[in-house]
Chains A and B, each alone.
Chain A
Amino acid sequence: MARPAAPPAPGPPRSAPPGAVALHPPRFAPLRPPRGRPALPGPPRPERCRGRARQRAPGVARDRRGGAAGGTRERPAGDGTGGAGPRAGPGTAGGGRDRRGGAAGGTRERPARTGVTSPRPAEEPRVRGHVGPPGRQGALRIRTGGMAEREGGNPEGAAPVPAGPQAPELSREEKLQLRKEKKQQKKKKRSEKGPSTESAELCAPPEAGQPRAAAQPTSPPAPADGPGDSEKPAGGKSKAELRAERRAKQEAERAQKQARKAELSQAATTAKPRQSPTEPQSMVKRLPEHVQVDDPAAQRKLAKKLERQQVPLRQDYGTKVNLFSHLHQYSRKKPLTQQMSIPSTVIHPAVVRLGLQYSQGIINGSNARCIALLEVFKQLIRDYSTPPNEELSRDLVAKLKPHISFLNQCRPLSASMGNAIKFLKKEISCLPDTLREDEAKEKLQDVIDKYLREKIVLAAEAISRSAFEKINDHDVILVYGCSSLVNRTLCDAHAKKGRAFRVIVVDSRPRLEGRETLRRLVRRGIHCTYVMINAISYVLPEVSKVLLGAHALLANGSVMSRVGTSQIALVSKAYNVPVLVCCETYKFCERVQTDSFVSNELDDPDDLIVLRKGQAQLGGWAENKSLRLLNLVYDVTPPDLVDLVITDLGMIPCTSVPVVLRVKNVDQ
């Protein structure tokens, strides 16, 4: 398991080692890889990845085996720590224990002391969760901390139970029951950290006896006997025993909780929103973490989650403007890779490379980022191998999670990436059981290719064609920033040689992306003018239409795009110039936003420091207590400023975005 002599290639191959990216890479150097699909490193490293996958399996199961791992710490520590050694990282006691538990769990899979079937007791409940009818969507939620308690409850080296594929089909009620039990355990754990006054009630035995009797009929009676009967004889008895023990524990906890609730309801005047523990969890909408940076509780949760996934937590940099204190602000000089050992054993090197490319601004633009992401995921899937006793459909999704967290830490995910990830997770979890691993992997690769081709490449072509109808002879078209879709539209229109038009490129600091647009259009021979955004009132009287790209289209018709877009739309409206937005349907979001504050991205404030005549203006901004720099990335344009949205489904008004979303949901 330990790989101290790992292959020397670092995370981002072919470019500088991680230390060197601390410098600002030249942003507009022509040596930058072209926008769009990045070139990926050469051949995958199968043996290493397989090992990693095997390592990952116990890694993922860490929290589940937490209790058991504690017990097995006496195991060959050399073996376990050998694997855990290189992973220095943010190691806390709990984390260390998890890792070692993971490694130990991994070693357990090898010829274990208690015999071949000894790991089964720890695995058995999880295996139970696996087996079931297709349509395992709900079953994905099974992996919770609740497992830890159950493991703790299992006696070590219990009688062997059958391996995964032989376990019987769980009835639906049984699975529901399992899920509910786990949720209760989680809630109980959470509330344990709450007011300490309740802790006294936790150890109230007399109430336990009474409600237990009452609680007995509430537990579904059928599954109690059902699986017991249908189980294969080998481990049937012990399973039933374990289940009975577990159920007894559940009821005790439930009773305590109800007793506690009774106390609370007497004391408190407000009613609890959640009803009895047997009810399914209510659909409470939670704010995403990335807009709750000033909430310490949310940040602690995030830190814990990242620690569990072994992804380093990126620190914020510099004082933020008060209005945006709920957002992250990172420094480009401190990439995430400085906080982790390279090669990382948890994160695939292609993903590390991608994360660096995102955080350093090498890959920019929502289409480019999404394409790069999907290509890297294809590589991940290629290098993935299912650990034994795991289902690909479930395990792969779990494996993807730390990578997604890592990428999120490098740079907040864009809407296009979010939709692509959602799609991929759905595809993975809908894989039929009957496929072999290589078949499944190939199917996933095909699915990803299809998504790329249809939603991005073909959509761009369709949009280009529709937009061509709107470009008339002798048009003056204004574009802003750098949008791959708009550039493609203009280049195609020029190539068709039917229309004579000229382009005004508007640019803004600090990104100066308009220069890239200018470069591309001039290369094709399109007549261009270049202005900065403060000059738009000057040029707009001669403009016939404005063509903009979008980062995302929100459900109320608002357009989320590079900062400066709403300004252009506003001034264009004042001059009665039609504003056209080009956006593929895969960027449509269910979110609703009416302003640019609630959810945005803060870029490195040091970008605003400008070097003029050898002097760095604003260079000492950090020392000045009353100076804050704000480098926003996105802004939101209200729908009444946009005249037309050109999508791959045709030309629609801004207000019809929810219709498209509805049609898409129906399709799926």
Chain B
Amino acid sequence: MSTEDLIETFRAQLRDDPDVASAVAAIRALLGFLRQDRGETIQGLRNSLRDAIDTLSRVDSSVAVSSGGELFLRFISLTSLEYSDYSKCKEIMIERGEIFLTKVSLSRNKIAKLCHPFIRDGARILTHAYSRVVLRVLEAAVESKKRFSVFVTESQPDEAGQKMAKALRKLNIPVTVILDAAVGYIMEKVDLVLVGAEGVVESGGIINKIGTNQIAVCAKAQNKPFYVVAESFKFVRLFPLNQQDVPDRFKYKADTLKTGQNLTEEHPWIDYTSPSLITLLFTDLGVLTPSAVSDELIKLYL
């Protein structure tokens, strides 16, 4: 499968199902790539898969794509050394890839089931930008007959908050769109903050749309719980010490990186929230505290 075909498959996935996470689309594309691979050795297969993951990261520079791809690779290559027959090996790998994909597609529902009990009747929730997982959680809360209202930040520069507000209105949830600058003002009115994540790092902190860190700091100052919902394929082996330490390839969109212009003039798209500001993380591995994330990561990656 050539690079262009791979990218086309990936883009097609995103187009056909706008609700799918970009990492899931990437994994589906990788699975297709795996099926059509003509290589003869395991090592060659792994190398070509790694190249494919790189290609996809260059298309969509989000953290989730690279972490999801990495985890996919690890998951399928766990048993690769047991069979000497290459085609048998490949079959096993494809099978495991399917299992991984199924698990990953179910993760959102699992998270919604874990998280919606934390939303009480009459709660006022603050959320940030457009997150499909948060949407799923709020959907589950509505299904369990809870009444609550939501504040969404506008989330410039792409006004993702408006998209979120539209989706919420369809679910008949009372929603208010606020300015990004108004978070400090509104914090005393809300009961809890619920955000998604693009990536969860080893320290237990998260990488998310720019503005999340501000919200977390305000929430901490006013003692409001700050909850994060993220699937487990977003766990990544990064350990940023501060904002500067996040690698540039995640901070900016893929197209911007390709043009190679001076990045100091660009606005970053993501920021890093430190684990001390996060109360709980809801993942398909369970409800975790930030310090438990490292434990899970060690289990996943070692």
Contact = CB atoms under 8 A, between A and B. Distances in A.
Interface of A: 470, 472, 545, 578, 580, 640, 643-644, 650-653, 655-656, 659-660, 663
Contacts of B298: 652, 656, 659-660, 663
A578 B242 contact: yes
Contact of A578 (B202, B241, B294, B302): B241
A663 B302 contact: yes
A659 B203 CA distance: 14
Contacts of B8: none
A472 B244 contact: yes
Given A644-B203, A663-B302, A653 B294 contact: yes
B255 interface: no
A656 B241 contact: no
Nearest to A658: B295
A656 B244 CA distance: 24
A644 B203 CA distance: 8
B295 A656 contact: yes
Nearest to B302: A663
A644 B239 contact: yes
Nearest to A580: B241
B196 interface: no
Contacts of B239: 644, 651, 653
Interface centre among B202, B204, B239, B295 (most CB of A within 10 A): B239
Given A643-B203, A653-B203, A663-B302, 8 more contacts: A472-B245, A545-B241, A640-B276, A652-B202, A653-B202, A653-B204, A653-B291, A659-B295
A55 B53 CA distance: 68
A545 B302 CA distance: 28
A659 B241 contact: no
Q: Classify the interface of chain A: helix, strand, loop or mixed.
A: mixed
A653 B239 CA distance: 9
B218 to A, nearest CB: 18
Interface in B269-302: 275-276, 291, 294-295, 298, 302
21 contacts: A470-B241, A470-B245, A545-B241, A580-B241, A640-B276, A643-B203, A644-B203, A650-B237, A651-B239, A652-B202, A652-B294, A653-B202, A653-B204, A653-B239, A653-B275, A653-B291, A653-B294, A656-B294, A659-B294, A659-B295, A660-B298
Contacts of A580: 241
A655 B294 contact: yes
A640 B276 CA distance: 9
Interface of B: 202-204, 237, 239, 241-242, 244-245, 275-276, 291, 294-295, 298, 302
B238 to A, nearest CB: 9
Nearest to B289: A655
B202 A655 contact: no
A470 B242 CA distance: 11
B214 to A, nearest CB: 16
* Max count, chain B CB within 10 A of own CB: residue among A472, A545, A643: A643
B241 A655 contact: no
Nearest to A654: B291
B69 to A, nearest CB: 20
B302 A656 contact: no
**CB-CB nearest 9 A-B residue pairs:** A655-B291, A578-B241, A656-B294, A651-B239, A653-B203, A659-B295, A653-B294, A652-B294, A659-B298
Nearest to A470: B241
Contacts of B291: 653, 655-656
B241 A643 contact: yes
Contacts of B237: 650
Contacts of B294: 652-653, 655-656, 659
Contacts of A640: 276
A615 B159 CA distance: 74
Nearest to B205: A653
A643 B274 CA distance: 10
B299 to A, nearest CB: 9
Interface centre among A545, A580, A650, A663 (most CB of B within 10 A): A650
A431 to B, nearest CB: 30
B241 A644 contact: yes
A337 B241 CA distance: 49
Contact of A651 (B202, B204, B242, B276): B202
B104 to A, nearest CB: 24
A535 B204 CA distance: 33
Most chain A CB within 10 A, of B241, B244, B275, is at B241
A493 B202 CA distance: 24
A488 to B, nearest CB: 21
B294 to A, nearest CB: 4
Contacts of A663: 298, 302
B213 to A, nearest CB: 13
B99 to A, nearest CB: 25
Nearest to A653: B203
B278 to A, nearest CB: 13
Residue of B276, B291, B302 ringed by the most chain A CB atoms within 10 A: B291
A658 to B, nearest CB: 9
B280 to A, nearest CB: 15
A389 B291 CA distance: 54
Contacts of B276: 640
A573 to B, nearest CB: 11
Nearest to B238: A651
Nearest to B241: A578
Contacts of A659: 294-295, 298
Contacts of A660: 298
A659 B242 CA distance: 24
Contacts of A472: 244-245
Contacts of A651: 202, 239
A138 B203 CA distance: 41
Contacts of A578: 241-242
A545 B240 CA distance: 12
B235 to A, nearest CB: 14
Contacts of B275: 653
Nearest to A579: B241
Contacts of A656: 291, 294-295, 298
A267 to B, nearest CB: 51
B276 to A, nearest CB: 8
Contacts of B244: 472
B297 to A, nearest CB: 9
A556 to B, nearest CB: 11
For B202, B244, B245, B294, the residue with the greatest tally of chain A CB atoms inside 10 Å of its CB is: B294
A652 B296 CA distance: 12
A85 to B, nearest CB: 60
A644 B239 CA distance: 8
Nearest to B275: A653
Nearest to B292: A655
Nearest to A576: B242
Nearest to A640: B276
A152 to B, nearest CB: 56
A470 B245 CA distance: 8
